[in-house]
Amino acid sequence: MNLSQVKLVVTDMDGTVLNAKGEVSNRFFNQFEELKKRNIHFVAASGRRYQSIVHKLEAIKNDISIIAENGGLIQHNNLTSILFKLSSKDILKSIEVLRDVKGCYIILCGRKAAYVETKNSDFVSKFSEYYSAFKIVDDLTKVTDDDFLKIAVYHFESSESKVLPYISKIANELQVTVSSKNWLDISHKDANKGYALNMLQKELGIEKKDTMVFGDYNNDLQMLELAHFSYAMQNAHPNVKKIANFETKSNSEQGVELILDELINSKIL
């Protein structure tokens, strides 16, 4: 395997480059400097909000590209653009359906802030790890003064078994993705990480054969298809392992960093 041809590295965040505590390792930040020296561009791609990704990667934020909200928003060359927004009709229909799903918590994700209509302390505690700027409101359907990129849904047991089977009315019209064990995301039907990554590849003039991607869950599937060096984490969903060309160790074992060391060593300065 010839890693020396890689010009673009893309990683998911949660379950991938973030460890079990939600942290980026010092090892990674040191590796990033070596990637820069070798003219390898880095992209962070996540279902998280843009601000949440920047918070995790503050030290390198001006030198990377960011795909946030599962492809709803992209930042490149320090310019941030919204690619896809949900219409008010889509939002109203989705919230109406989700309110009938037992045990699910709804987050309306806007560019300015995230909005919830529950005061459940256990959920708010969990939710605030991902959404630092949020507002608790009486009725999500009454929130209008924002650009809405996604609806995130949380279930304490399982988003795949406890939410997905009950929202077919939404899934037929919008992009519905199980993004982790507990999270499910609803976006514009054309929004996904792969769409945004393809835009970056074209702008940078980088092909699939020169691209390396790491992922762990179903919201990573489209972008994994755009890389020859596509890696599933050991802790990845079976769908990810099926589509990826390679596998690395889990996020708790620094699986991303392990491969980045190999990449750096393949390009001796």
- pTM of the shown model: 0.91
> How would you write the chain as a 3-class SS string?
CCHHHCCEEEECHHHHHCCCCCCCCHHHHHHHHHHHHCCCEEEEECCCCHHHHHHHCHHHHHHCEEEEHHHCEEEECCEEEECCCCCHHHHHHHHHHHCCCCCEEEEEEECCCEEECCCCHHHHHHHCCCCCCEEECCCHHHCCCCCEEEEEEEECCCHHHHCHHHCHHHHCCCEEEECCCCEEEEECCCCCHHHHHHHHHHHHCCCHHHEEEEECCHHHHHHHCCCCEEEEECCCCHHHHHHCCEEECCHHHCHHHHHHHHHHHHCCC
pLDDT score at 14: 95
Report how far apart the first and last C-alpha atoms of the chain are (Å, whole number): 19
The pLDDT assigned to 148 comes to 95
User: What is the per-residue pLDDT for 266?
Assistant: 95
Report the pLDDT value the prediction gives residue 125, as an integer from 0 to 100.
81
Return the pLDDT at 118: 87
**Residue 120 pLDDT:** 85
Per-residue pLDDT of the chain (269 residues; tens, 9 = 90+): 789 999 999 999 999 999 999 999 999 999 999 999 999 999 999 999 899 999 999 999 999 999 999 999 999 998 989 999 999 999 999 999 999 999 999 999 998 999 999 888 888 887 777 777 888 999 999 999 999 999 999 999 999 999 999 999 898 899 999 999 999 999 999 999 999 999 999 999 999 999 999 999 999 999 999 999 999 999 999 999 999 999 999 999 999 999 999 999 998 77
